[in-house]
């Protein structure tokens, strides 16, 4: 009897297995490195769930109600009129009407729609897909300029060192994929001139990436994202391999390249497979059910909390800059993890390399910057190179330490404004009535957190969003708070700003890749020059890639709403059902050159676009020395 049951069960199981296609997520479950096609098969095996689709639309739509720039971004003013023209709310309606084959296809539509804003503060991320696995090639690229000024795309000279360090277990797969007698000789490709990518001029691929990578307003900055770069991180100097060799979604299986390798006359053609590696936040799964459960549904941290009851999804770089490219050790006492100091061989040029601020307190950062700069001066530095080759949240107030004080008066920070729609106003009214809701000053709408136009703090019963400033932007009615004061001086600046700036702004130069935003106040206040490294020479390079004012996300806004008991308000976003998030600019910074208009839309053209060569590419010290040659004539 029981054996018949077993047989029957076996027969039923077997016929089920035959009738049902294999689970595409089970195939990749538990694996570290996989083929992108297999990942795609898993990702695209889930149909669109109409409830989830509508939930995401509603969360994004209503969170954008708190985003200062939605109406500006419909058609940005000159000089960004060609870079930013996305009516995101209209596009959400389009997404609602359009049907998609899979939940993954739907996600790509959401993600690209928000990325078209080219605003790194305002992106939609769904951790079910974005960077769950990263799609890699072992050949980061650089844009090099030769002695005659001709620019061409190359495989980075350090490519092989970097990929063997980062992908020790996969390198053989790529070695074996090389054709004929190149097999096993991946190292010989380092430095090769890339004549074509997928049978077209390399800039076709560069520009295709610039169209979808998002984050930075300026086209030049988005072009440069394709190539490798470096950054100073808390753990040391890191190599960023760039968008060509690292992708957040498994959309490509191979790259075909036509190369001119040094020492060979005939160009060679290679085809390398992309390989996908699971990311640091992937929760292990065994099949479709556990993939969805572990990675795709909302987590305890997805939605906001009621504080009384008690999140650019950019992957963290984890490849060290090869030793041959690293600057010598920094000066003793180099401050904290965020700042490193160097004195160049000329003994008169100091270098301040700024890294990620995320792990240090603002006070510790100011302290370390101040002591480090004073130490540089004591060692004889007369001029300063500030290297900010990274993508970091800007703390504009530190500008005080650099440029002459006269130029940072009344302040180095930006004046700002927040949006003042009916829900925003209601949140402040609730807090006015009952300040005890937020005794710890955790809520963004707490009046006590902000200063009025004369830089005095508001009182608990001030309705700081009123009188509302009405504007018509791109034909849409909009409403903002009165102009808010800045937060650098005097109370916000714990160390009293030096009487004189520590370095003359004209003897300071900022080196960047255009991705950060701190330098705007240093530059526009004091006349410090700006160098952007490695851009295409006929493309205008902007030194400021993303300027907001203050950025935050759906979760914080949901916390504001829940803590003030306004979750039922018709404009309040519902709880998000998926493991995702929406970023926003919550306060918009006004410009320094033109204080009447948002800084975001003002021209930030770099003084110099520094061409990179074989010697200088991704070599910080060589870049600093080249900058000194070009910028300081004495
Ligand atoms: C966004 O929300 C507003 C306010 O509730 C609503 O009028 C509008 O139709 C919504 N748009 C979309 C695309 O859902
Ligand atoms: C998926 O995997 C989990 C845990 O490994 C297991 O309990 C479950 O039965 C599996 N589901 C299916 C449909 O195979
Ligand atoms: C693409 O490049 C930009 C700029 O460096 C970076 O912020 C983004 O994280 C990159 N995307 C991926 C998937 O690495
Ligand atoms: C700013 O706040 C201070 C202190 O409450 C007040 O005296 C001043 O009039 C305010 N300034 C403006 C322009 O409202």
**pLDDT tens, residue by residue, 609-618:** 999 999 999 9
Whether residue 79 is predicted with pLDDT greater than 60 in this model: the reply is: yes
Q: Is 456 in the pocket of ligand 4 (CB under 6 A)?
A: yes
Tell me what pLDDT residue 394 has. 47
How far apart are the CA of 118 and the centre of ligand 3, in A? 12
pTM value is 0.91
Whether the per-residue pLDDT at 175 is higher than 50: the answer is: yes
Residue 460: per-residue pLDDT: 97
Q: Measuring CA to CA, which residue among 402, 393, 385 is closest to residue 501?
A: 402
pLDDT computed for residue 492 by the predictor: 42
pLDDT at 312 exceeding the cut of 50? no
Answer for the pair 222, 118: CB distance below 8 angstroms, yes or no: yes
Confidence label for 595 from pLDDT (cuts 50, 70 and 90): confident
- pLDDT for 356 beyond 80: no
What pLDDT shows up at residue 518? Answer: 54
The C-alpha atoms of residue 325 and residue 236 are separated, in whole angstroms, by 12
pLDDT at site 591: 83
Q: Which ligand is nearest to the CA of 294?
A: 2
Residues 368, 336: contact at Cβ < 8 Å?
yes
pLDDT (tens digit per residue) in 126-157: 999 999 999 999 999 999 999 999 999 999 99
- Which ligand 1 atom sits closest to the C-alpha of 57? 14
Peptide bond into 490 cis (omega under 30): yes
Confidence label for 235 from pLDDT (cuts 50, 70 and 90): confident
42 lines ligand 3 (CB under 6 A): no
As a whole number, the mean pLDDT across the chain is 87
pLDDT on residue 234: 73
Mean pLDDT of 9-26: 63
Identify the band that residue 411 occupies on the pLDDT scale cut at 50, 70 and 90. Answer: very low
Cα 424 to middle of ligand 4, angstroms: 22
Q: What is the pLDDT of residues 428-438, one digit of tens each?
A: 999 999 999 99
For the residues 448-471, what does the mean pLDDT come to?
95
CA of 456 to the centre of ligand 4 (A): 6
Closest CA to 576 of 302, 218, 223: 302
Ligand minimally distant from the alpha carbon of residue 13: 2
Q: Flag the least confident range among 208-222, 454-468, 533-547.
A: 533-547
335: nearest Cα among 317, 320, 354: 354
Residues 180-202, mean pLDDT to the nearest whole number? 97
Number of the ligand closest to the Cα of 206: 3
Residue 493 CA to residue 228 CA, distance in Å, equals 36
Catalogue all structural domains in the chain, each as residue range(s) with its CATH number: 135-228+238-278 (2.30.42), 327-408+497-545+604-631 (3.90.226.10)
For atom 6 of ligand 4, the residue with the nearest CA is 456
Across residues 273-299, what is the average pLDDT?
96
Q: Which pLDDT value is given to residue 504?
A: 81
Ligand with minimal distance to 215 CA: 3
Instruction: Give residue 10's pLDDT.
Output: 43
H/E segment holding residue 61:
helix 50-63
Q: Which ligand 2 atom is at minimum distance from the Cα of 287? A: 1
Quick check: 571 pLDDT over 80?
Answer: yes
**pLDDT at residue 520 tops 90:** no
Does residue 548 have a pLDDT over 70?
no
Instruction: Read off the pLDDT of each residue in 342-355 and give the average, rounded to a whole number.
Output: 91
Q: Check whether 113 has a pLDDT greater than 70.
A: yes
Q: pLDDT band at residue 5, thresholds of 50, 70 and 90? A: very low
Atom of ligand 4 nearest to the CA of 459: 5
C-alpha of residue 26 to centroid of ligand 2, in Å: 9
- pLDDT band, very low/low/confident/very high, at 600 (cuts 50, 70, 90): confident
* Candidate from 213, 224, 389 with most ligand 3 atoms within 8 A of CB, to mutate: 213
pLDDT band at 6 (very low <50, low <70, confident <90, very high): very low
Of residues 493, 491, 470, 547, the one with CA closest to residue 516:
547
Region of poorest pLDDT, from 95-109, 355-369, 513-527, 579-593? 513-527
CB of 453 shorter than 6 A to ligand 4: yes
Residue 13 confidence (pLDDT) above 60 = no
Lowest mean pLDDT segment, chosen from 319-328, 345-354, 454-463, 572-581: 319-328
For residue 388, pLDDT beyond 90: no
Within its chain, how far is the Cα of 83 from the centroid? 17
Ligand 3, atom 4: nearest CA belongs to which residue?
Answer: 225
Distance CA 472, CA 633 (A): 48
Residues of the chain above pLDDT 90, percent: 66
Ligand lying closest to the C-alpha of residue 94: 1
Q: Which long-range contacts (CB under 8 A, 24 or more apart) does 623-627 make?
A: 623/387, 623/511, 623/533, 624/327, 624/342, 624/344, 624/349, 624/351, 624/385, 624/387, 624/511, 625/344, 625/345, 627/385, 627/509, 627/511, 627/531
- Percent of the chain topping pLDDT 70: 85
| pLDDT score for 12 | 44
Between 226 and 308, name the one with better pLDDT. 226
Is residue 355 scored above 90 in pLDDT?
A: no
pLDDT of 128: 98
Cα of 460 from ligand 4 centre, angstroms? 13
Which residue has its alpha carbon closest to ligand 3 atom 6? Answer: 314
Amino acid 232: pLDDT: 81
- Residue 64 pLDDT greater than 70, yes or no: yes
List of residues 6+ apart from 310 with CB closer than 8 A: none
- 295 alpha carbon to ligand 2 midpoint, in Å? 15
The atom of ligand 2 lying closest to the CA of 288 is 1
Query: What's the CA gap between 530 and 546, in Å, rounded?
Result: 16
Q: How confident is the model at residue 408 (pLDDT cuts 50, 70, 90)?
A: very low
The CB of 289 under 6 Å from ligand 2? The reply is: yes
How confident is the model over 104-117, as a mean pLDDT? 98
pLDDT over threshold 90, residue 123: yes
Cβ burial of 339 (10 Å; 0-12, 13-18, 19+) is buried
Q: Tell which atom from ligand 4 comes closest to the C-alpha of 455.
A: 1
Q: What's the whole-number mean pLDDT along residues 336-353? A: 88
What separation in Å is there between the alpha carbon of 61 and the centre of ligand 1? Answer: 6
- Cα–ligand 4 centroid distance for 488 (angstroms): 18
Cβ of residue 52 lying under 6 Å from some atom of ligand 3: no
- The rounded Å distance from CA 332 to ligand 1 centre is 56
- Cβ(164) to ligand 2 under 6 A? no
- Compute the distance between CA of residue 49 and CA of residue 39 in angstroms, rounded to an integer: 20
Whose structure tokens read 């490294």? 533
What pLDDT is stored for residue 420 in this prediction? Answer: 98
Q: Minimal CA–CA distance to 603: which of 486, 520, 516?
A: 520
Q: Which of 287, 288, 292, 294 to mutate to test the pocket of ligand 2 (most atoms within 8 A of CB)?
A: 287
Q: CB of 225 closer than 6 A to ligand 3?
A: yes
Among 22-31, 98-107, 310-319, name the one with the lowest average pLDDT: 310-319
Closest CA to 279 of 292, 293, 295, 290: 295
Residue 454 Cβ contacting ligand 4 at under 6 Å: yes
Which atom of ligand 3 is the closest one to the Cα of 313? 9
Distance 526 CA to ligand 3 centre (A): 31
* Residue nearest to ligand 2 atom 5, measured at CA: 286
């Amino acid at each position: 009897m029981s054996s018949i049951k077993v047989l029957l069960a076996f027969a039923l199981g077997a016929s089920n297995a035959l009738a049902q296609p294999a689970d595409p997520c089970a195939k990749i479950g538990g694996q570290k490195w996989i083929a992108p096609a297999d990942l795609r098969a898993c990702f695209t095996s889930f149909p669109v769930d109409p409830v989830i689709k509508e939930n995401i639309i509603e969360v994004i739509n209503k969170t954008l109600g708190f985003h200062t720039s939605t109406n500006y971004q419909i058609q940005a003013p000159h000089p960004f009129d060609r870079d930013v023209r996305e009516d995101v709310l209209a596009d959400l309606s389009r997404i609602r009407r359009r049907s998609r084959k899979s939940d993954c296809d739907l996600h790509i539509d959401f993600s690209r729609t928000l990325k078209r804003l080219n605003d790194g503060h305002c992106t939609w991320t769904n951790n079910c897909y974005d960077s769950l696995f990263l799609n890699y090639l072992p050949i980061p690229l650089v844009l090099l300029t030769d002695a005659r000024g001709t620019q061409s795309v190359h495989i980075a000279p350090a490519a092989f060192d970097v990929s063997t360090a980062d992908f020790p277990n996969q390198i053989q797969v790529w070695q074996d994929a090389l054709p004929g007698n190149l097999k096993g000789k991946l190292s010989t490709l380092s430095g090769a001139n890339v004549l074509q990518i997928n049978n077209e001029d390399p800039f076709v691929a560069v520009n295709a990436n610039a169209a979808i990578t998002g984050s930075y307003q300026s086209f030049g900055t988005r072009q440069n994202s394709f190539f490798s770069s470096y950054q100073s991180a808390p753990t040391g100097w890191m190599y960023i391999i760039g968008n060509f060799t690292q992708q957040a979604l498994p959309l490509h299986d191979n790259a075909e390249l036509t190369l001119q390798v040094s020492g060979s006359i005939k160009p060679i053609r290679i085809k390398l497979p992309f390989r996908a590696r699971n990311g640091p936040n992937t929760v292990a799964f065994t099949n479709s059910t556990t993939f969805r459960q572990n990675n795709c549904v909302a987590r305890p941290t997805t939605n906001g909390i009621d504080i009384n009851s008690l999140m650019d999804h950019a992957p963290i770089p984890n490849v060290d800059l090869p030793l041959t490219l690293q600057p010598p050790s920094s000066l003793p006492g180099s401050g904290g993890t965020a700042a490193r100091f160097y004195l160049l061989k000329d003994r008169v040029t100091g270098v301040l390399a700024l890294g990620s601020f995320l792990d240090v307190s603002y006070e510790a950062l100011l302290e370390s910057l101040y002591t480090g700069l004073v130490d540089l001066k004591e060692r004889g530095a007369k001029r300063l190179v500030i290297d900010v080759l990274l993508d970091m949240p800007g703390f504009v107030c530190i500008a005080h330490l650099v440029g002459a004080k006269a130029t940072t008066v009344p302040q180095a920070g930006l004046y700002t404004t927040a949006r003042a729609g009916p829900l925003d106003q209601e949140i402040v009214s609730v807090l006015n009535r009952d300040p005890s809701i937020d005794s710890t000053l955790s809520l963004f709408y707490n009046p006590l957190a902000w200063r009025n136009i004369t830089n005095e703090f508001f009182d608990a019963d001030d309705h700081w969003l009123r009188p509302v400033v009405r504007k018509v932007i791109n034909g849409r009615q909009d409403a903002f708070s009165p102009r808010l004061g800045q937060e650098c001086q005097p109370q916000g600046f714990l160390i009293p700003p030096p009487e004189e700036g520590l370095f003359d702004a004209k003897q300071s130069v900022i080196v960047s890749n255009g991705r950060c935003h701190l330098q705007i106040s240093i530059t526009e206040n004091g006349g410090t020059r700006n160098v952007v490294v490695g851009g295409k020479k006929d493309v205008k390079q902007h030194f400021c890639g993303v300027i907001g004012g203050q950025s935050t996300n759906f979760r914080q806004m949901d916390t504001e709403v829940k803590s003030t008991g306004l979750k039922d308000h018709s404009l309040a976003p519902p709880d998000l059902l998926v493991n995702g998030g929406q970023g926003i600019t919550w306060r918009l910074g006004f410009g320094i050159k033109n204080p009447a208009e948002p800084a975001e839309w003002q021209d930030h053209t770099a003084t110099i676009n520094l061409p990179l060569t074989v010697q200088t590419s991704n070599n910080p010290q060589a870049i600093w020395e080249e900058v000194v040659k070009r910028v300081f004539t004495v």
